[in-house]
Amino acid sequence: MSMLRRARHKLDFFSRWGRFQLRRARNRAFQALELTSYVLTPRRPCRHLVVEHPQNNDRLVSYLSWLYGAPDETLFEGLINDGAVHLNKRRAAPGDLTRHMDFVEIKATKLPAFVLTPLERPLNVIYMDRHIAVVEKQPGDLCIPPPNRRHAPCVAGSLLSQGISSSAQIPNIHAGLAHRLDRFTGGLLVAARTPAAKDRMTRLFRQRKVRKQYLAIVGGELVAGGVIDAPISRDRKRRWAFRVSPRGHSARTEFSVHEPLSAAATELKVRIHTGRTHQIRVHMANMGHPLVGDFLYGGLCLPETRQFLLHAAQLEFEHPFTGELMSFSSTPSAAYLEDKERILRGEPLAPHPKARR
C-alpha cells in the first residue's frame, strides 16, 4: 500500500512540474507574439488574441462578449458550443476561466457588430495621420465601457463616430487605443488607425519607449523630488484597488516639485517608467502624499469635488512607421485649474465621506 502511495505521489509531482514548465514556456512564447493579429482564410477567418488582464478570472464567454462589445453573451456562447473558439490550443467551454496571457483562437465567418456609444462632445484631436492619432481626454470620460455598463459613452465610441478609427480595421472594444487613462484623469491618449499601427504602438509601450509625464496635485508639502521603485499588485481586500506589494509587478515613478501651492498641497511633475494600473495614485499614497481628491487611497478632498487632480500633460515617442520623434503637450482641464486656484486661495481640504477609515 505504501509503495502505491509513493508511486501516486511521484506521478502527481511530475504532473504538476510538467504543467508548470508548459505554462512557463507558453508565457514566454506569448510575450514574443504581437497582442493582436489576424490570419484570414478565404472562407473561415481565424482571429488570434492574447488575453490581457481579465478582471477577477472572468469566464471566457463574458470576456469575449465584453471585448467585442456584444449586447449579450448569447452569440459567443453559441460560437463556443459549436467548437469555433479554442483556449490554449484546446476546444473551449463557456464556463472556462481566463487568465492573463491565455491564447484564444476564434474561428467564425462573422463576429458580432459591436456598438460603442460616443461622448456627448467631440474629441479634441491634437494630431492625426493615416497611422495614428493623438486625442485629448477630459476628466470624467471613460476610455472604454466597463463590463457592467456596456453602452456607457466612452472615448472609444467617439473614435469610431468621428472616423478616427474603424471597427472594420480594428474590430474590438478598444477601437485602436494603445493605452488608457483612469476615468478622472484627463490628458493625452494615442490611438492607432490600423492593425499594424496598433501592434507597433503596443510594442513601443511594452518596451517602455514612450515617455509619459503627468501633472499631479498631492496632499502635504514636498520640497524635493525623488524616485519610487516599488512593485504593485491588486489589493486582496479591495479588488477594485491596488497596493504596493513585494509580490507585485515592477513599477517605477519619478517625480519633482512643479509648484508649491500651500502647506496642505503641492503640484508635482510625475514621469512613469512603467504603466501599471493606478501607479501614480498608489505610489503617492504609499509615500504618505495621496492625490488630492483620491478618496480611494486616502486623499483629502475639496468640498463638492468628485475627481482627483491628475493630468497626462506630455507624450513623447518615435513614430511607429517613420521613426520621427513626436512630442505632444496638453493644458490641464478647466476643472483641474479651478481646483488648483481654490487650493491657492487657501480653501481647506477634508476627508471624503466615502474615504476608507
User: Per residue of the chain (357 residues), what is the pLDDT tens digit?
Assistant: 456 555 555 555 555 555 555 555 544 444 433 333 333 233 345 566 777 666 556 788 888 877 776 655 766 777 888 888 888 888 888 788 888 778 888 887 666 556 788 899 899 999 999 999 999 999 999 998 876 677 889 998 899 888 888 765 666 677 788 889 999 999 999 999 888 888 899 889 988 899 999 999 999 888 888 999 999 988 888 878 899 998 888 999 999 999 888 888 999 999 999 888 899 999 999 999 999 988 889 888 888 777 899 999 999 999 999 999 999 999 999 999 999 999 998 888 888 766 655
Classify 296 as helix, strand or coil.
helix
* C-beta neighbour count of 133 within 10 angstroms: 22
Residues acting as catalytic residues: 182
Q: What is the pLDDT of residue 36?
A: 32
**CATH among 3.40.190.10, 3.40.50.720, 3.10.290.10, 3.40.50.300 for 37-110:** 3.10.290.10
The dihedral through the CA atoms of 27, 28, 31, 37 has a sign that is: negative
User: Cell numbers of 292, please?
Assistant: 488630492
How many whole angstroms separate alpha carbon 331 and alpha carbon 333?
6
Locate the DSSP E strands across the chain: 36-39, 46-50, 85-87, 90-91, 103-107, 124-128, 132-137, 186-192, 211-219, 226-229, 232-234, 242-244, 252-260, 265-272, 300-301, 310-318, 325-329, 350-351
CATH topology of domain 115-207: Pseudouridine synthase (3.30.2350)
Domain with CATH 3.10.290.10 in the chain: 37-110
Angle at alpha carbon of residue 314, lines to 287 and 259, rounded to 5°: 50
How many whole angstroms separate alpha carbon 68 and alpha carbon 171?
7
Q: What is the pLDDT of residue 327?
A: 95
Residue 35: which residues within 8 A CB-CB, separation 6 or more?
Answer: 49, 50, 52, 199, 202
Domain with CATH 3.30.2350.10 in the chain: 115-207, 209-357
Contact between 317 and 210 under an 8 Å Cβ cutoff? The reply is yes
Residue 220 half-sphere exposure toward CB, CA atoms < 13 A:
12
Listed residue (233, 137, 118) closest to 179, CA to CA: 137
**CATH among 3.10.100.10, 3.30.2350.10, 3.40.1400.10, 3.90.1150.10 for 209-357:** 3.30.2350.10
DSSP conformational letter for 95: T
Task: Note the pLDDT tens digit of each residue in 177-216.
Answer: 888 999 999 999 999 988 888 889 988 998 889 999 999 9
Contact between 45 and 168 under an 8 Å Cβ cutoff? The reply is no
